[in-house]
Amino acid sequence: MFVGVHDRQLDDKGRCALPSPYRTELGERCYLSLGDDGCVTLRTAEDFEAHAQDLIEAEKRGEISLARRRAIATNSTTVTIDKQGRFTLDERFRTHAGLTPGSPVVVAGTFDAIELWRPERFAAIEAEGRDEEPGRQWSDQ
């Protein structure tokens, strides 16, 4: 389970250090995908591979197209977590999220995945989510 928000910074090689609570859940190998709304999504190998199998079966049943299955596969990649808890965000993923080497990055848990955001974009998305729940009072803390 991935929860919480953590402020990080990409190093000059485009690497991101994961918060320690996330490291043990991810293991040494995981998957990056171009995420919705301009983020990058990081998933455990187990979760990503189960989802990939579901997509394969859905395509065989005609529920999704081969083009959709292909788009998800080609916009994902395997990454390894080094001993310092870092992984490299290659240029394609950085461009999608509006990140550059040395830039700040928000690392946010979404229960079943981790998302990487440009801070300004994350603030806007988070505000949208808070506004969706009627009657709920949110603190800005």
Distance CA 38, CA 50 (A): 24
Q: Model pTM?
A: 0.89
CA-nearest of 56, 78, 77, 79 to 68 is 56
User: In the chain, what are the domain boundaries?
Assistant: 5-132
CATH hierarchy code of domain 5-132: 3.40.1550.20
pLDDT tens-digit map of 50-84 = 999 999 999 999 999 999 999 999 999 999 999 99
Q: What is the pLDDT of residue 141?
A: 45
Distance CA 107, CA 104 (A): 10
